[in-house]
Structure 1
Amino acid sequence: MDIQSPALVTEPRPGVLLITLNRPHVRNAVDRSLAEAVDAALTRLETDTTLNVGILTGSGGHFCSGMDLKTFPAQGVPVVADRGLAGLTRARLRKPLIAAVEGAAVAGGFELALACDLITAADTAFFGLPEVARGLVAAEGGAIRLPGRLPYHLAMEMLLTAAPLPAPEAARFGLVNELTPEGEAVRAALDLAGRVQAQSHDAVLVTKRIVRDTRGLDDLTAYTVQDPISTPIFATTGAAEGAQAFTEKRPPAWHR
């Protein structure tokens, strides 16, 4: 096991970097040191060619309770450069990142999950954006992303009344990819990461970039942005291998 700091544990698995927030005494609230450690782990995920997918989770039965309000007066919001809370909420990651949620994912913790591409969650987990109850706003993606992930009125209820959302209800509305028994969210995330890794790595990266770069654009503009990104993939050896494997009724042999 590779421990980067007391506040964060990173564990490389085959093709996967498991990143665990490790401040269980405060439900993994993010202070400056944890933010910088997460940012470093994400940089490792992006630059290590042996890693294809990241998984973000928390220790002690909770995902993350957001910004550490006890350190906020002295440290401010624990953002890292222009990459947002914990170096994630405003980052432009190339590789897929999965949130594995147990217990509470609230405030900035929910914003970290919303910044991920996929979410697994225990059926006892819950999500929330209680910032208005603290005189704050969900400024690290909550107010921006949530109305596009849930029905508008439900998202606004969460944002304006601080109402929590149980994981089973979140799954019913498509916010959670896989609902699991308590304690199984990481296992489900590893399975999901395996399914991602079974695909063409190049095609996965290009697909994520297209989704990120065209979100919110009208169709005509979106195609204009997409085509220079997508066209080269059709001439790669990976595309040829995918077609040949389909013809020969065998699994493709992808090469990095």
Structure 2
Amino acid sequence: MSAAPEVLVDVQDRVLVITVNRPAQKNAMTLAAAHLVAEAVDRLDDSPDLSVAVLTGAGGTFCAGMDLKRFALGERPALPGRGFGGLVEAPPEKPIIAAVEGWALGGGCELALACDLVVAAQGARFGLPEVRRGLVARGGGMIRLPQRLPRSVAMELLLTGDPIDAERAERLGLVNRVVPEGQALEAALQLAGRVAGNAPLAVRCAKAVARAAPGWPQDEVWRRQAPFSDAVFASQDAQEGARAFVERREPKWTGR
């Protein structure tokens, strides 16, 4: 009998659901799982029938980070150019939403940080305990956490390794919404459906500019934004959106 795949991939309407499937190991990341996540991310960006992804974990845990037993044997669950989990250094061009139940620790927290939106169950916990194991959060934790939280809070989490609960994470802006236990995936799918209902080119543009703009010189932001936004305003979907509004109907997007 063959073993279950370490990552499950499913399509629900225009949403790609990526589930790390190692529940007995708290979904600790392996090299094999990282390859499967990377393949799923490529599928998301390459398919015109997909608008957004949801990343989650099986069995009530998001991801407990790197599989330390495999690490002790020399395995690193990172891919060249893509980083930990096949995702953190190269998130998809299309939006991705984290649906977090239970622990998002170490690399698991960094996977959530690499996502654009985060939905968390009330019992979810986020933490970067690498310093307790003689390591550092090099999968984006040291880079993204200070961008997403007040610096003093981010530094406390990085230097102590202590976790933060979902409700405090929501208050500080790390999490978009907190939902009852067991409902993170359902709530994330609802949010994904709202994203998927919008014009694909506009959504992709919004993500691209929002990611790039913080690194642009202030005197160049409008010039650098123009190629992105001009392409959207000149698109067939922009015309369709205007017509649909005038005709009081739902738009039919083509992604062109």
- Aligned counterparts of 2:74 and 2:204: Cα–Cα separation in 1: 35
Q: Do the aligned partners of residues 236 and 32 (structure 1) sit closer, same or farther apart at CA in structure 2, a change above 3 Å counting?
A: same
Look up the match of 1:129. 128
Q: Which residue of 1 aligns with 2:18?
A: 19
Q: Distance in 2 between the 1:254 and 1:75 partners?
A: 48
Counterparts in 2 of 1:207 and 1:172: CA distance versus 1, 3 Å: same
- 1:179-221 per-position Cα deviation (integer Å, ceiling 9, x unaligned): 1100000001110011001111110011111112222323222
What residue in structure 2 maps to residue 143 of structure 1?
142
TM-score for both structures, normalised by structure 2: 0.94
State the shift of 1:81 in Å: 1.8
Q: Judging changes above 3 Å, is the alpha-carbon distance between structure 1 residues 97 and 216 closer, same or farther for their aligned structure 2 residues?
A: same
For the Cα contact (< 8 Å) 2:127–2:163, is it kept in 1? Answer: yes
CA contact (8 A) 1:97 1:116 kept: yes
Checking the alignment, whether the CA contact within 8 Å between 1:120 and 1:179 is kept in structure 2 is yes
Q: Distance in 1 between matches of 2:8 and 2:185?
A: 14
Farther-moved stretch of structure 1 (43-52 vs 81-90) = 43-52
Offset of 1:93 from its aligned partner? Answer: 1.5
| Code of the aligned partner of 2:16 | L
Q: Once superposed, what is the RMSD of the aligned Cα atoms?
A: 1.5
Q: Would you say the 8 A contact 1:105–1:126 is kept in 2?
A: yes
**Cα deviation per residue 1:113-142 (whole Å; 9 max; x = unaligned)?**
000011100011010001111111000100
Say whether 1:190 aligns with 2:196: no
Displacement of 1:247: 3.1
Where does 1:209-228 land on structure 2 (aligned, <5 Å)?
A: 209-228=208-227
Alignment correspondent of 2:79:
80
Alignment of 1:1-256 (within 5 A): 6-256=5-255
Q: Say which is worse superposed, 224-233 or 27-36, in terms of deviation.
A: 224-233
**Deviation larger for 35-44 or 59-68:** 35-44
Q: Distance in 1 between matches of 2:79 and 2:166?
A: 29
Please state whether the residue corresponding to 1:71 is helix, strand or coil.
Answer: helix
8 Å CA contact retained: 1:27, 1:65: yes
**TM norm structure 1:** 0.94
Q: Select between 220-229 and 77-86 the one with higher mean Cα deviation.
A: 220-229
Identity in percent: 49
**8 Å contact kept, 1:5–1:37:** no
Looking at structure 2, the residues matched to 94 and 25 of structure 1 have their Cα atoms a distance apart, in angstroms, of 32
Alpha-carbon distance between aligned partners in 1 of 2:91 and 2:16, rounded to the nearest angstrom: 17
| Aligned length in residues | 253
Q: Secondary structure at the match of 2:198?
A: coil
In the alignment, structure 2 segments of 5+ residues that lack a partner are none
Structure 1, residues 80-104: CA drift from partner, whole Å, max 9, x if none?
A: 1211111100004211111000000
State how far apart, in whole Å, the 2-side matches of 1:42 and 1:235 are.
28
What secondary structure does 1:55 align onto?
A: strand
Gapped runs of 5+ residues in structure 1? none
Answer whether contact 1:32 1:75 (CA < 8 A) is retained: no
Q: Could you tell me how far apart the structure 2 residues matched to 1:224 and 1:68 are?
A: 45
Conserved in 1, the CA contact under 8 Å of 2:14 and 2:49? yes
Q: Distance in 2 between matches of 1:231 and 1:117?
A: 23
**Alignment-mate amino acid for residue 92 of structure 2:** L
